Amino acid sequence: MKIKKLLVASHNQGKIVEITDLLKPFGIEVVSANELNLPDVEETGTTFFENAELKATELAKISGLPCLADDSGLCVDALGGRPGVYSARYAPNRDFDKAMDLLINELKQSGSSDWSAHFSCVLALKLPDEPCRFYEGRVDGEIVSQKSGHNGFGFDPIFKPKGFDKTFANFTKEEKSAISHRGRAFQKFVTDLEKMV
């Protein structure tokens, strides 16, 4: 099936820009839930898979368009995998500056010296009359105690991926896409897309 227009189930501008850039080579027109005034789908799932599927299925139904949804988050080992699926809601009023302070304080109070963490991303693609297709990406690393960098969004200024000496917020968009959780999930999605096209 040739996808000409794809709805991205997100109101997050940073995410939309990343996805639009990744899909440019395919000549696919990307529209966001925001542009079409579509509602935020309540994330009632307990896993990234469930939330991505909920969003993709619901917005594909409302819009009549193929829909790509993602659910992603930061999972911190010393906090038992939190904030995980609640990453966006961990931020008071979506203020990630406050969320990062909160997370660093929580880690300091945990008494753990192991600040290992990973970002996880699950993409769900819902095409008409087909079950959802899923693509998962993950990047391991650690939380740093000082925010650093101004690129990216969310928890990027305090996440340092394994094998690098800088946080995601110090990566260029291209560098981050090459190794990020979303970038890795997208590589799988793009491989599938090439087969479909």
- Half-sphere exposure of 62 toward its Cβ, with a 13 Å CA cutoff? 16
Identify the CA nearest to 4 among candidates 19, 17, 23. 23
Distance in angstroms (rounded) separating the CA atoms of residues 58 and 71:
14
Specify whether 95 is catalytic. Answer: no
DSSP letters spanning the chain: ---SEEEE----HHHHHHHHHHHGGGTPEEEETTTTTPPPPP---SSHHHHHHHHHHHHHHHH-S-EEEEEEEEEEGGGTT-BGGGHHHHSGGG-HHHHHHHHHHHHHHHT-S--EEEEEEEEEEE-TTS--EEEEEEEEEEE-SS---SSS-TTGGGEEETT-SS-GGGS-HHHHHHHSHHHHHHHHHHHHHHHH-
Q: Which residue has tokens 């939330």?
A: 51
Out of 21, 40, 70, 71, the active site residue is: 71
Question: Which residues are tagged catalytic?
Answer: 71
